[in-house]
Structure 1
Amino acid sequence: MPVTTSSPGPVDSVPPASAPVLRSGALGTADIAFFVVSAAAPLTVMAGVAPLAIVLGGIGAPVGYLLAGITLTVFAVGFTTMSRHVRGGGAFYAYITRGLGPAVGVGAALLALIGYNGMEIGVYGLLGSATHDTTHALFGADIPWLPVSLAGLVIIGYGGYRSIDFGAKVLGVLLVAETGILALLAAGVLIKGGAHGLSLDSFAPGNVLVPGTAAVLAFAFAAFTGFESTVIYRREARDPDRTVPRATHLAVGFLGLFYAFIVWTAVQAFGDEEVVEAAGSDPAGLFFSAITTYVGGWAADVMHVLVVTSVLASLLAFHNAINRYGLALAEEGILPKALARVHPRHGSPYRVGVAQTVLGAVVVLVFAAAGADPYQQLLLWVNTPGMLGLLALQLLAALAVPLYFRRVSHREGVLRTVAAPVTAVVLLTTAIVLVLTHLDLFTGASARVNTVLAAVVPTVFLIGLALAGWLRRHRPDVYAGFGAEPGAAVGPEPDTAAPRQPALPHD
């Protein structure tokens, strides 16, 4: 029986009648937004990274987060417009395939696997180190990181095994908690008037146009990583033509405004003259010191605990995204077909989830066996290629949008199909350059290590191009149909476009 959604458009997929499928119509706008905002881990980003942004950019640091949010909002315009026309489960790589061809699409698919896995697996090191720091701060205990990380793998694996609405409910609770503690800090600062009264000097051009702003922008773009994964949940969304764009704009808009507001309140908590010195002397303790002063010591204890739950929420969000990418690629024939199975009761891509959990365990154990530091090496060295891979995917997707709409009949406006994506290409290229030129700030590693980490992205992409060439010669059916699920209705929005199907561009 074919799967349907509440959308008036064509059915997204038509699996065999006997095959279990993803839960259609399980997610609303808020549910999808919970997934993508949780992946960004707002509390962890603020408490762990924002102090470094203040050290580098001074009191103008809040504007860096606003600028990053504006850039990604521009990207989201073309990205979400295309989401109404390309309806397969492959998200990034499906869009890139439709605009740039199957060869580039296969390269993008491998980048997506590396990017999302890198962003998740590295965070198991952060889970171990954050739990160690929290238990030491609260109880004076020193818990080794490895058992915590392995336990996290089991917990997250179970969360991915359960239904998608189960995950949405868990993330909803955790996200409200972590953003709530930051809102509580902000309220305390506003009520007490900050250290010397409230000031808007952070937004003055003279405090924004400083040499350190480039580094702040690099950190700010990294803080949004994962927001684009809204489209991965298309097959499980209610009325996806509306839900997915709304969730995307809601997520990026919330993150941009929330980050800027919280960093500004941190500046007010210490004062314009004192905050840079305070962040430089104790970056890890900046937010805990502020909430102790303006709310109370008990709130600092709660914040310590919520940092750990914030990391767990980020892990679960990325795990679910990876599972759906893996399912789509298994259905395409790129990954083993044995992984293209959905749980008959939970409607989850459980086999991909098991494989991803095993991969995570292997990486964590290898780093542990090598005596690596869970934060400085497991987190930063594995996350960095993942972040670069996702930025590269955003750039490729932005390039694909105008090329796709040149090939199909449609009634979308030029703002959505040309102006916004071309602007996004320029802005995202700038963002990638900023991140690459400040890579040492992300990794704390030597130039040689940074070169290796940066080289992972083009290497994986080239491997993808080589794989595409092999598929074209030896499995032409897989190559020709790449980028659209079997049975997917891939084409323009039914009420705005001509009836013909867009053809895949071939090399």
Structure 2
Amino acid sequence: MSTESSSDSVGQHASASDGTEPRLSGGIGTFALILIVLSFAAPLITLNGTIPVIIGIGNGLGTPLSFVASGIMLMLFAVGFVAMARRLPRPGGFYAYISASLGKPLGLGASYVAVLGYLGLLLGTYLLGGAAADALVHGKFGGPELPWAFWAFFMWLFVSALGHFRIDLSAKVLGVLLCAELVVVVVFDVVVLARGGGPEGISAEPLTIDAFFSGSVPIAIMFAILTYTGFESTAIYREEVRDPDRTITRATYGSILLLGGLYTVSSFMLINGYGVSNAVAVATNNSGVMMVDAVEEYVGVIMADLTNVLLVTSSLAALLAIHNTATRYVYSLATDKAAPPIFGRVHPVHGSPYLASAGVAVLAIVCTVPFAVSNLSFLEQYSWMLGIGTLALIVLYTLMSLAVLVFFIREPGDEGVARTRVAPALALVMLTATLWLITKNLTLLTGGSTTLSFVFSAAVYGLLLLGVVVALYYKSRKPEVYEALGRSLG
């Protein structure tokens, strides 16, 4: 084992009592880390919101194969990602790996883009969660009609409180909320299958190549990739898991396989529940209630009502997972003194990055205020945040694929050509094409505004450039800070 790896392992459990600064700590295993990733991806929200959109404006009946195709692409990405995580056992996620391979300037720029991307997803999910809570209380149960921001504020309090404590507590809460929503999805799938599908029975047409190419494949793939978001966050928890190499590897592969399987099967059952002749029309005209109506039809009113409740808790789980990931990027930057060092402090009892968590919480509520007081529609604001978050993360995936390829060409080992050359090269080609498609079609996620699409693109690529400039400034004026960039652990 390398010296760096050893220090990483031992450092997890250091505390203030031994005379050293407290380090992040936690004991989460593979299953708990997978739950965090699945909560980030919010599967019930995906089934209720994203899948009907793919059916309606994507490739229609070919939606199940869109998840298969995107899952294969991300699995190729994960092969190189995991290999590099094992070879370079540093905390910090993409920030650390891109710094080590493509240079500290690009690594710092990537960390800025990561924070922006996760902040966009966080704000968008607060919007979604608040709207879902209002729809449940007012629309479903006849309670008072209140602004989405009212409910989002209480979600913010919940997330901010849990972010203060040890990651194990968040993992347990996420586990309970996630398991509840997965029960609804699995029950729905089983009932549709047991009843032999809808009015047209079970058709294999959604699994054919003709169906896959029946509509807009680029749009379908773009949205399908969104539904896997969060799998890349496994490495950022390196300091808080048991047996980091094994846990991160298993959780990364496991989350992609579970999400891909769940979305493929559930979209297939949803389409067959309505019938292949009707599903696209229903998704086009009634996408917002397509899943809930299907649950009510096949499982009953009680389960449909439970689905509406779980849409709120699913938002809450996603908020907590996204908040925790963003927090650890801020913590990593502060540890390297590339952000205010105060955010690099660790709670002496809980072993959590509590001040970084508080900083992210404050940033989130400050950025939410303009949305809360504006007259813009929920859909406009949500699509904006989804757009900027999506673009930022795909930029990171693409840079990371390049980083893996460059790293193993420069430092070959015994991992094998397939894992260190072939898979990363294929992932890089596919992700570059996807990035181009998303940039080209960004107006779909920004309400059709070309101006806003340009602003979001400029923000993402501008932050990447800003990180490069700041790193070069550190190199010339603060060499000790520059040398520490990339979570090298000294």
TM over 0.5: yes
Query: Would you say 1:187 and 2:190 are equivalent positions?
Result: yes
* Matched residue type, 1:70: I
Matching residue of 1:52: 53
Distance 1:430 1:406 in 2: 22
- Extract structure 1 runs of 4+ deviating beyond 6 A: none
- Is the aligned partner of 1:258 residue 2:262? yes
Aligned length: 480
1:146 Cα deviation after fit = 1.2
SS of corresponding position for 1:125: helix
What is the CA distance between 1:387 and its match in structure 2?
1.6
* Residues 357-381 of structure 1, C-alpha deviations (whole Å, 9 max, x = no match): 111110111222333334421x221
- The 1-side partners of 2:325 and 2:443 are apart by 28
Q: What is the rounded CA distance, in whole Å, between the counterparts of 1:69 and 1:409 in structure 2? A: 27
Residues 435, 8 of structure 1: alpha-carbon distance in 2 compared, 3 angstrom cutoff: closer
Equivalences for residues 329-368 of structure 1 within 5 A: 329-368=333-372
Contact 1:125 1:375 in 2 (8 A): no
SS at match of 2:7: coil
2:441 equivalent to 1:438 = yes
Q: Which runs of 5+ in 2 are unaligned?
A: none
In structure 1, stretches of 5+ residues that fail to align are 488-507
TM-score, normalised with respect to structure 1: 0.92
Partner of 1:22: 24
Separation of aligned partners in 2, 1:339 and 1:448 = 35
Q: Distance in 1 between matches of 2:96 and 2:379?
A: 34
Deviation, structure 1 residue 158: 0.7
SS in 1 for 2:403: helix
Give 1:9 shift. 4.9
- The letter of the residue matching 1:185 is F
Query: For 1:448 and 1:391, how far apart are their aligned partners in 2?
Result: 20
Q: C-alpha displacement at 1:458, in angstroms?
A: 0.7
Query: Taking structure 1 as reference, are residues 277 and 250 closer, same or farther at Cα in structure 2, changes over 3 Å only?
Result: same
Asked if structure 2 preserves the Cα contact closer than 8 Å seen for 1:32 and 1:168, the reply is yes
For residue 82 of structure 1, report the CA deviation from its aligned partner: 0.5
CA 1:152/1:86 → structure 2, altered by over 3 Å: closer, same or farther? same
CA distance in 1, matches of 2:210, 2:384: 35
Once the two structures are TM-superposed, the CA of residue 447 in structure 1 deviates from its matched residue by: 1.6
| Equivalent position of 2:177 in the other structure | 174
Rate the CA distance shift 1:337–1:256 in 2: closer, same or farther, 3 A. Answer: same
Aligned residue number for residue 499 of structure 1: none
SS at match of 1:84: helix
Query: Shift of residue 137 of structure 1?
Result: 3.2
Q: Report the counterpart of residue 105 of structure 2 in structure 1.
A: 103
The answer to whether the 8 Å contact 1:221/1:431 transfers is no
CA offset at residue 124 of structure 1?
Answer: 0.8
Q: CA deviation at 1:122?
A: 2.1
Tell me what 2:34 maps to.
Answer: 33
* Distance in 2 between residues matched to 1:147 and 1:18, nearest whole Å: 43
Question: Which residue identity does 1:53 align to in structure 2?
Answer: I
Matched-pair contact (CA < 8 Å) for 1:43–1:178: yes
Q: Deviation at 1:206?
A: 1.3
2:324 corresponds to 1:320: yes
Asked if the contact 2:386/2:445 (under 8 Å) is kept, the reply is: no
> Within 5 Å, which residues of 2 pair with 1:275-294?
275-294=279-298
In the TM superposition, what are the counterparts of 1:86-235 in structure 2 within 5 Å? 86-141=88-143, 142-195=145-198, 196-235=200-239
Superposed CA offset, 1:146-188 (max 9, x none): 1111111111001111111111111111111111111111111
* CA positional deviation for 1:410: 2.2
Distance 1:83 1:466 in 2: 27
Q: Secondary structure at the match of 2:325?
A: helix
The answer (yes or no) to whether the contact 1:116–1:386 under 8 Å persists in 2 is: yes
C-alpha distance in structure 2 between counterparts of 1:360 and 1:445, whole Å: 25
Report how far residue 326 of structure 1 moved.
1.1
The structural deviation recorded for 1:135 is 1.6
346-355 vs 430-439, which moves further:
430-439
Contact 1:217 1:434 (C-alpha < 8 Å) held by counterparts: no
Cα deviation per residue 1:7-64 (whole Å; 9 max; x = unaligned)?
995231647733222114x110011111111101111011011111111211111111
* 1:268 to 2:298 alignment: no
Q: How does 1:458-473 map to 2 (within 5 A)?
A: 458-473=461-476
Is the Cα contact below 8 Å between 1:328 and 1:485 reproduced in 2?
no
Amino acid at match of 1:110: Y
> How far apart are 1:409 and its partner, in Å?
5.2
CA distance in 1, matches of 2:208, 2:405: 36
Alpha-carbon distance in 2 for matches of 1:374, 1:282: 17
SS in 2 for 1:11: helix
Question: What percent identity do the matched residue pairs reach?
Answer: 36
More helix by share: 2
Q: CA deviation at 1:96?
A: 0.5
What RMSD in Å do the two structures reach over aligned CA positions? 1.7
SS at match of 2:296: helix
Mapped to 1, the partners of 2:165 and 2:140 lie a distance apart of 32
Distance 1:323 1:8, change over 3 A: closer
Matched with 1:310 is 314
Given that residues 89 and 324 in structure 1 are in contact (C-alpha distance below 8 angstroms), is that contact kept between their aligned partners in structure 2? no
Q: For 1:176, what is the secondary structure of its paired residue?
A: helix
Kept after mapping to 2: 8 A contact 1:94/1:484: yes
1:345 alignment partner, SS class: coil
1:311-341, CA deviations, whole angstroms, 9 ceiling, x for partnerless residues?
A: 1101000111111111111011101111111
Q: Counterpart of 1:410 in 2: which secondary structure?
A: coil
- SS for the counterpart of 1:443 is coil
